[in-house]
A and B are shown apart, each in its own frame.
Chain A
Amino acid sequence: MTEHFPILILLVPLFGALIVVLLGRERPEQCWITSLISLGLSSIISLFTIIVVLSDKVQTIRYRMGGWEPESTVFEVGIELRVDILAALVVFAVTFVGFVNTIYSKTRAEAEAQGKVPFFYALIQLLIVGLCGIVMTNDAFNLYVLIEITSLTSYALIAMGNRRAALSSFNYVIMGTIGASFYLLGVGYLYIKTGTLNIDDIRMVLGNDKLWEHQSIIVAFIFIMLGVWTKMAFFPLHGWLPNAYAYAPSMTGTFMAPLMTKVMVYVMIRVMLWLFGDKFVYSDQHVWGELVIWMSVIAIVAGSLLALARTDIKKMLTYLIVAEVGYMVGGAWLGNVTGQAGAFYHILSDAAMTFCLFIAASIIVLRIGDSRVNAFDNLFRKMPLTMIGFTVGALSMIGLPPTCGFFSKWYLIRGGIEAGQWEYVCALIFSSLVNAVIFFRIFERAYFGNIAGVKEDFSPSDSDANPDTSIKEVPWSMLVPLYIASVSVLLLGIMNRPLFEWIQTALK
């Protein structure tokens, strides 16, 4: 039974999506329950997968689709799934965030999906299928198909919002197709030189035949990296992300912001270490190592400054995501295990804290009716329960112990010092300072209210007239996800040592 866990994680939400479509528009309540059950089941299975992978016997589950054992050939002829501890952790993060986000969607889906509730739940479950598949597959072309599944679902989910969401979704279609097609081109260049599509086999052929110096392999690497960077919104290619996530329906934004870019970072690490191998990527003959670290420094600085310049809280958070992507790219390219493990640990912790912050921000925007920070007067008094969750996420983003943001940043800085990349270390510290400025600005506004004497072009809305009656706490279906997210931020921080050790052993 345990050997079938990888495919079961995928099949349960897939069936959930089919059932939800069959249920139809007349039964939104049952659609919610169905997707809650299917995602809950899927996250339980992925939790068991972590336990199985961590047990003494099994370290890596390999699952051959269709049972095609390579008999006469050395290479795989079918498609293979490969689940190690890294994949199991990310899959658990994906399914668990999906599950918690479904709780959050309970009231919002009916309000924001305009009578298309079943399609929303079906698309979000298929998105989860795609993300889990991306993480687990061991076939370069299958990865492309799954990337397209996640892209198509996210185009549709974003375009379900208002008219600006449709426009940003269109830009996302263009950028996303360029990214995915570049990835496909890179895989084609690898295939023409190696004759196989299995990730492990490609690495083996590249190593055995000494293809590393070939121009086509170098070009393939550049194109795969460009494609993946486009999908993860690495700084100069980030154009599609802020508008898409800020204007999407809130329950879509809360799911996609924590996960989409992080899963693509996982793909990048996997491409670097498993598809091409560290001997190729970190080789001294290529100039790109230093270059990418500098690009990530620029991404971190630019993302932080752009976030500082925004007053709209959702836009601000999306630019912070751009900066966080810079952290992870830099960490993965440092060339030592500490940096890679730090980048991987940051995938998990960033997913948790972004999820926490996005839920809190969505709740606040929903209740205030204004997304500008200037409208956040006295929020600590009006919505204390929400603001506690927001504070936990914000402290983690700044990087204060015992939240997970502190530890992941700590490992990344340690990796940077080990590699001697001081510009990267400086950028990380600078970004933490900027984050502190950003969030303490919000805290000040929310705790003390508008300080008298400061003139602003902010017209007081109705909420200022009777602050105590109009703004109330939100229903439990929104607060519970927020608290689960904040608790997981703290838990990931407390459990940092065992997690980090698992990650390090898997990377070695």
Chain B
Amino acid sequence: MKVFGLIAVFVVGLLLLSATQDFPSWGDPRSAASDGEVSSFYIEKTESVTKVPNMVTAVLADFRGYDTMFETVVIFIAGIGIIAVLRNFEGTDSPSDNDNDDDGAGLLARFTCSLILPFIQIFALYVVAHGHHSPGGGFQGGVMFGASYILLALAFGLSKAKQLFSERRTMIFAVIGIFIYVGWGVLCLLLGKEFLNYSVLDSILPGDSMMARSHSMLVVEIGVAFTVTAIMFSMYSNLSTRGRLSKGL
């Protein structure tokens, strides 16, 4: 197996290296990909048609919003897939595991966590909301928000975190996130334009059709953030307890 793997890997590597010889040099601004019409369109026109200076956010949430919708669905699938594979609803598989109480980390860790948790969460909200102008957006902010709950579970024990964010609630939040995203697209459909064509929403949002695109990006980013927050916490709580959700790390 090792020899076979080595041969396969070297064949693949040599094939890939043989192709790099007719690539443009690294960082060449005149390469086909960087100088192409699509890339130039994104760089030159993004701000004038969507009023969003961060091109990555604009391309992510508007031009290729259909991809991002499925990206959120992928996260959702991972969350419910982990539950489907691992979750043990019958209770514990070995009763002795449940005996010792789960009371998280020591006093110092708890105190530090309770100090920094609010700041993490505020920063996460800032990242979601400020994705139009700076790096960040729904996904990054959602991961950070979910991480704050993971930190809570690590410091105060999973049962404490579950009081705030029970399993049922995580599922509802995850569903709400996708519902916001897809529902926003369906709203465009109901108003008579294509799916995810935000420009038609200027009739219900303040500003012209370009501002409608900008505002809609914020809405779908919030949707992404909901799903990602819920699923990140659900992933951690299932994986750290082998699907029993009774006692954390």
- Interaction A to B: yes
Compute how far the CA of A220 lies from the CA of B70 in the bound complex, rounded to whole angstroms: 25
Partner of A123, one of B38, B80, B196: B80
* B198: interface (CB < 8 Å): yes
Residues of chain A within 8 A (CB-CB) of B40 are 73
* B199: interface (CB < 8 Å): yes
* B133: interface (CB < 8 Å): no
Q: Contacts A18-B179, A133-B70 hold; do A159 and B19 have CB atoms under 8 A apart?
A: no
**A14 contacts B37, C-beta separation under 8 Å:** no
**A72 contacts B45, C-beta separation under 8 Å:** yes
Scoring B residues 39 to 52 as 1 if CB is less than 8 Å from chain A, else 0, what string do you get? 11110010000000
Scoring A residues 57 to 95 as 1 if CB is less than 8 Å from chain B, else 0, what string do you get? 000000111111000111111110000000000000000
Scoring B residues 66 to 96 as 1 if CB is less than 8 Å from chain A, else 0, what string do you get? 1100110110111011111101011000000
Residues of chain A within 8 A (CB-CB) of B23 are 192, 216
CB distance from A161 to the nearest CB of B (A): 10
* A440: interface (CB < 8 Å): no
**A78 contacts B39, C-beta separation under 8 Å:** no
CB distance from A135 to the nearest CB of B (A): 14
**B67 contacts A79, C-beta separation under 8 Å:** yes
- Which of A76, A156, A194 counts the most chain B CB atoms within 10 A? A156
**Quick one: closest B residue to A148, CB to CB?**
B74
Interface-lining segment among B145-153, B156-164, B168-176? B168-176
Compute how far the CA of A133 lies from the CA of B22 in the bound complex, rounded to whole angstroms: 33
* B130: interface (CB < 8 Å): no
Residues of chain A within 8 A (CB-CB) of B15 are 219, 222-223
Q: Contacts A72-B41, A149-B73, A219-B19 hold; do A18 and B178 have CB atoms under 8 A apart?
A: yes
* B195: interface (CB < 8 Å): yes
* A141: interface (CB < 8 Å): yes
Interface-lining segment among A113-121, A259-267, A452-460? A113-121
Partner of B197, one of A15, A66, A116, A157: A66
Interface-lining segment among A19-27, A383-391, A467-475? A19-27
Partner of B37, one of A18, A73, A113, A114: A73
CB distance from B67 to the nearest CB of A (A): 6
* B112: interface (CB < 8 Å): no
**Quick one: closest A residue to B81, CB to CB?**
A156
* B16: interface (CB < 8 Å): yes
Partner of A73, one of B19, B38, B82: B38
CB distance from A507 to the nearest CB of B (A): 27
CB distance from B30 to the nearest CB of A (A): 11
Residues of chain A within 8 A (CB-CB) of B81 are 119, 123, 152-153, 155-156
Compute how far the CA of A162 lies from the CA of B35 in the bound complex, rounded to whole angstroms: 52
* A433: interface (CB < 8 Å): no
Partner of B38, one of A11, A15, A196, A216: A196
Residues of chain B within 8 A (CB-CB) of A18 are 175, 178-179
Main secondary structure of the interface of B (DSSP, over half): helix
Residues of chain A within 8 A (CB-CB) of B65 are 65-66
* B31: interface (CB < 8 Å): yes
Residues of chain A within 8 A (CB-CB) of B63 are 66, 68, 77-78
* B116: interface (CB < 8 Å): no
Residues of chain A within 8 A (CB-CB) of B110 are none
Chain B interface, number of residues (Cβ within 8 angstroms): 62
**A195 contacts B37, C-beta separation under 8 Å:** yes
* B118: interface (CB < 8 Å): no
* A323: interface (CB < 8 Å): no
Interface-lining segment among B97-105, B121-129, B186-194? B186-194
* A166: interface (CB < 8 Å): yes
**B37 contacts A196, C-beta separation under 8 Å:** yes
Residues of chain B within 8 A (CB-CB) of A193 are 32-33
**A66 contacts B89, C-beta separation under 8 Å:** no
**A153 contacts B77, C-beta separation under 8 Å:** yes
Scoring A residues 376 to 412 as 1 if CB is less than 8 Å from chain B, else 0, what string do you get? 0000000000000000000000000000000000000
CB distance from A108 to the nearest CB of B (A): 15
CB distance from A70 to the nearest CB of B (A): 8
* A215: interface (CB < 8 Å): yes
**B71 contacts A116, C-beta separation under 8 Å:** no
Compute how far the CA of A460 lies from the CA of B89 in the bound complex, rounded to whole angstroms: 37
Partner of A145, one of B21, B39, B74, B198: B74
**A11 contacts B62, C-beta separation under 8 Å:** no
Residues of chain A within 8 A (CB-CB) of B70 are 133, 142, 145-146, 149
Compute how far the CA of A148 lies from the CA of B76 in the bound complex, rounded to whole angstroms: 13
Q: Contacts A115-B89, A123-B81, A133-B70 hold; do A22 and B36 have CB atoms under 8 A apart?
A: no
**Quick one: closest A residue to B200, CB to CB?**
A67
Partner of A14, one of B62, B73, B90, B193: B73
Q: Contacts A72-B45, A192-B23 hold; do A119 and B194 have CB atoms under 8 A apart?
A: no
Compute how far the CA of A219 lies from the CA of B64 in the bound complex, rounded to whole angstroms: 27
**B182 contacts A67, C-beta separation under 8 Å:** no
Residues of chain B within 8 A (CB-CB) of A194 are 32-33, 36
Compute how far the CA of A141 lies from the CA of B90 in the bound complex, rounded to whole angstroms: 41
Interface residues of A in 154-172 (CB under 8 A from B): 155-157, 159-160, 166
Residues of chain B within 8 A (CB-CB) of A191 are 33
Compute how far the CA of A79 lies from the CA of B15 in the bound complex, rounded to whole angstroms: 30
Q: Contacts A18-B178, A123-B80 hold; do A7 and B195 have CB atoms under 8 A apart?
A: yes
Q: List 27 A-B contacts (CB under 8 A).
A: A14-B178, A21-B171, A21-B174, A22-B171, A65-B65, A65-B196, A66-B196, A72-B45, A75-B38, A77-B41, A79-B67, A115-B89, A115-B90, A116-B84, A116-B89, A119-B81, A120-B84, A145-B67, A153-B81, A155-B81, A156-B84, A157-B84, A191-B33, A197-B38, A216-B20, A219-B16, A223-B15
By Cβ-Cβ distance, the 3 closest A-B pairs, closest first, are: A195-B36, A156-B81, A67-B197
